[in-house]
Amino acid sequence: MNWLQLHLVLVTVPVTALALGFGLLVWGQLRARAAVRRLGLAVLIGASLVGLLAFAAGRRAEAQARALPGTEVVRVERHADGAEAARIALVVLAAASIGVLLVRSNSAALPWLAGGIAVFALVAIVLVARAALLGGEIRHSALHGASPEPPAPEPRGPVG
């Protein structure tokens, strides 16, 4: 497996796992369930770490992606810029989530801190999803409005 393949495998995790962690955190907040809130925070941390791994693999895969035939370099650069914004958000989200997990469970500030994490998690989800969409545009022309080329007709051999 090369860096480009590893990047493509890893990027699927953060988008869905961040949404799951956000949902658990919000559910824990609404139901005042400390265990669900903590699970949501843990999922957000795990998703952020996998996202950071995907970012690192993407950095290593960038030259490979640029060398692929038909790749528009400007799309690679836009994806890299979007990924950098997402990386910063993931670092902040992971660090803040760890900090909130360290707060005593009977602290009056805990619901407010967890609510702040939920809001920031939503921002991180948007940034990660945007980076993923920009990455998809590198090779999937249908995502940027170009109509896909029809497949070449198969040659017909002699019948009989």
pLDDT per residue over 81-103, tens digit each? 999 999 999 999 999 999 999 99
What is the rounded CA–CA span in Å between residue 34 and residue 46? 18
Would 151 be classed as within a structural domain? Answer: no
pLDDT at site 143 = 47
Domain of 77, in residue numbers: 3-144
Would 98 be classed as within a structural domain? Answer: yes
What is the rounded CA–CA span in Å between residue 18 and residue 120? 11
Number of domain units in the chain:
1
pTM: 0.80
Rg (CA), the chain: 20
The string of pLDDT tens digits covering residues 10-51 is 888 999 999 999 999 999 999 989 999 999 999 999 999 999
Would 134 be classed as within a structural domain? Answer: yes
Would 150 be classed as within a structural domain? Answer: no
What is the DSSP secondary structure assignment for residue 159, as one 8-state letter?
Answer: -
What is the rounded CA–CA span in Å between residue 29 and residue 113? 11
Would 64 be classed as within a structural domain? Answer: yes
